[in-house]
Structure 1
Amino acid sequence: MDLVPLTRFWRSRSSTAVTGENINPLYDPHQHQQHDLEPDLRDLNASLAALVEVFPDIAPEVFREMLSSISKESRIEVVTEQLLKKDAKLLRGRYRIGRGDRQSTSSPTSEQVGNAPTLATEETFRGESYRNAVKQVFYEEFKTLSHSSIKAVTAEQNYSYTLSRPVLQQLAAKSWRFSLANFWSKRSQSQTAPEHPNIVCQVSRASGETAALGVKRTGSTQLDRELWQLFVEPALASQRREQLIADHTYASKLNEAEAEDAGALFDCECCFGSVSFERMVTCDEGCHQLCFDCVRRTVNEALYGQGWARTVYPERSTVRCFAPTSQECHGAIPTDRVCYALSDADGSHDIWQQLQGRVASEALIKTVQLIFLSFLAAAFVFTVPLLLFTSVIWMMANILPPVAAIFHASWVRVHRSRQGLRFKCLNPSCTKTSCARCATIWRNPHICFETEKTSLRTAIESSATAAIKRTCPRCLLSFVKSSGCNKLVCNCGYTMCYICRNEITSKEGYSHFCQHFRARGGRCSECERCDLYGDEDEEAAIRRAAESAEKAWRDQGGKGDANTQLMVEALVGQAGHGTRYEKWLDAMVDAIAL
């Protein structure tokens, strides 16, 4: 296969590769740089970045809706005033969870968002050329969907191609027209280029083989770069990896042939095969020579078979010498040579990483076993004297009443130090009452970790709202259906279906929905129209969004802070204020009462 970069291929064949009236020029990331945004769009993005920096917990879509309807002179001031006065109405369920909730394919650019590192490109205002190009590309890619559905989905996702494409794929997969079109298109699908109308495959006229992938120009440089990053870059990276592996294999065969012609082959002391010097390893004690193939087979047997104990040298994280000609060799193969031998076949280090991971696991297990045995020995050494001391104290407390009174007073002090979570500072300058578990100010009624619970509830509500949110493609107003049927009418007069997001004209009306009677409910078996009152998909979407939000919250550390736990242990284990003798006695009673 003749693999060449797209830039070199396009420059050399620009006069012959692209001909015809209906073929657009290909996008070249080195030549077609992104143009500057319009002045008004640049000002909108600068205002959006400033508001996101001031209010980092609010979703950027709130600012986009408000900025688009305010004049240029006082955008930031008016939006800030409205947020401070009407935050409860404007921000219901629209708080920002964080950058981890939406994976951006393009890094934030300081030129577009005013040096705001927390604002992604998908969250900024989009130019008219980019929005029109995205809709045209979707019209060609999803021909089974109506234009109104595509407009509704793109409006919900801020006209982002990367975020809108998965939603449109789900909608298209539910249509029977998609299955029929997919059946006929399978015969003409290319095996080298992705299934996309704007991705073309360049073919060399000399050899007839695939040379490179390209992106047809869409009219927006920003969308061209996005398509290049989504489809072409992964394919080129895969081709480069395959080419490197093929070159390495060919170079190894050529080296073996030259070494054989020159008589410079060496015999392996394990399999007695003849290989070149570059494919040999030598142990550091007996200088036994072993080939790469034997090293790989031995390591695979150690990892997946029964040869771990006699093969691996755990103290040095390498492999022992396994030459059968000398059973008394205690040497080992150098670590760098083992790594090179295991990665020689395909250029990857998976087997080497598995070997190092298991060596580390074995070392950790041995360390834990040693610590456990040491703990048992220490417990035995300290438990016997403690039992003897407890027996003596019990006998003295039963025989001598004053001794019993002293131990009773110590027990009362220890019991008081252990009971209750309410802790009051005795410092005259403080005198604050706090919780010994969550280290927050004590307010009746007190709920531990109330802030963390509120954070989890906010994350779940925000994700659930985003899952069922709809956006009007005409006025870009976002809304959520609380009750009623699935025929939604916006304030601007636009009518759409809540399920498929398709526009419902006045002529069509309620005929857009299923009219068949179903005695037992469920999905209609006579047609594929949307249900007028069906909400099964909505409940499933809310449930999936809530589960994802809870998992993301727990992965980000929402279970509690380690410093809080340490503070709780310090407060609970604090000894009483008394003499040194009383402190020592309280410590002994506290240890006995465990």
Structure 2
Amino acid sequence: TLDKEHVQQLLALFPKGDPEYFYACLQYYKQDPVERITEKILDRGGYYPQLPVQKKGDNRLNACLSILALDLFPDCDVSYLRERVLQYSYAHIEQVVDAILSTGKYPERLEYGKMDPSEGIRSEKYKSQAQLQLIQDYPQIWKSSVRAVLAENNWDYIKCYDHLKEMGSNGFWNTIRNFFFYWSSTPSHHTKLTVTDPDLLDQLNQLQQHAVRKQVEKDRQLAVQLNLTEYTDQQQLITCDCCYSDESFEQLVFCSEGQHAFCHRCVTHYMSEGLFGQGTLRSQPRIHCISMDECTGYFGQNTLRHLLSDDIWKAYESSLLEEGVRAEQQVLCCACPYFELDESTKPLEWVYTNRVLKTMARWMMWDIQQDLEIAYGRVTKSRRGSLFQCKNPTCKTLTCLTCRRPVRGAHTCWEKESDGLRLYVEKAMADAVKRTCPNCFLSFQKSDGCNKIACPCGYKMCYVCRKDIGKESYDHFCSHFRAIPGSKCNACNKCDLYKTEPENEAVQKAADRAKRQYIQAHPEIASSDMLIGPASAMDKLGDWKQQTTLWILEKGLNLIV
């Protein structure tokens, strides 16, 4: 009780403080604990562990985990952070950060900056009620099995519900057995459980809404089928003007003129191809009728919104938005269509209108456009920074503006291309020593054994000279005795039965050739400090002139744009 009074006094002085932290501090001070703890906090610059901002119905451990997983370590595995948080009784954020920074290593997660609600820390109230609810939902499954499934799935009710549903669906005979084993005239699980935890109530509502949507979709499909059957019986089907299939009226879309009808499949395919394929429909405010006749009609926006899937409709809306914004002013997310307008830099075309600059470039025979573009790129990069945080609530990806890749942990630009170079070279090295069956085109490489290769298709070939030896078999190989095994035969020129020529030289040549080809196709991964030298004095002078010119242009553009 005395400690409780002291904690209340400390909370009055530091209202945002962590009570568990204050309880831990009281163990070190027997006399005047409040004064001494207050003095210690003030000596540390007024810093003390505070309670994180909690959402309604949430617990403080989960609030700490959210800060660690979304703000401080967005690339760290959530389960690793969760285990760390549960190790401490107070100042969870501070102690977890100290522990991670002291080791310097942690497992990474695949989804950068994202945390699924099922990965959170559940309260004891939630765990207890979730277990009772699952036992009531699946009375035929042992209670110990329910608890084990909960432990495996971080006590998340929805995940466990689906998991137990799969476990419970073991066929007709298992259903009959469970009926006789678990049926009772007054079963205890018929008593409705009172759920008070807000998170569990929300998940129960999600399951209910999912069941309703699933039933509505089943009813819709049944209605469509019955409607199609009725149209067929009455011979009232309407032909699509694109694929010429017969459909009911409800499964057709009409142009604004009302003269042409198209089925949902054709319109969806047309929009998908126009946006993601040929791109002819991007930034088109009106989608015209796709009839072969000269029709002035079009498809209405409401019609397309109702017909198209969410991803296709969002892509169409994004294309309309991009049309009104200059490409160089867009700061794009690499994972979704979200972008922001960069108004910190004026368009480069505004600089081209400067007559003095154009006249000077003409007199100096200076290709100013290329140098201006390089300098303008440096200015925009310095103003925008190197990273872009997507504000799309379903994405939130951190994009590197240099290599246009998601930033995860210790980011290295062009890391993917570097891996591609490695894989491309490794494939070329393997291709240099592999053999391919001309009959079934199966590729293989011999690790040991003789040089007579039998393909699964029945084709037989020599591994050394690749000749078809289906008829001559082992007669193709040298059978003369040699005093020194592996030495060249002086009696014939046949292939050796076991020996193969060294492949190191062929592998190295293939690797060098593949590396040159890949760097030519991906010049962005070539190191900027790679020089072909030694450079002459004229080369050094030209490079100095180029860099000086770009520096002057960059400083000038920084003032103009």
Report the TM-score when normalising by structure 1: 0.32
Report the TM-score when normalising by structure 2: 0.34
The structure with higher relative contact order (CA 8 Å, sep 6+) is 1
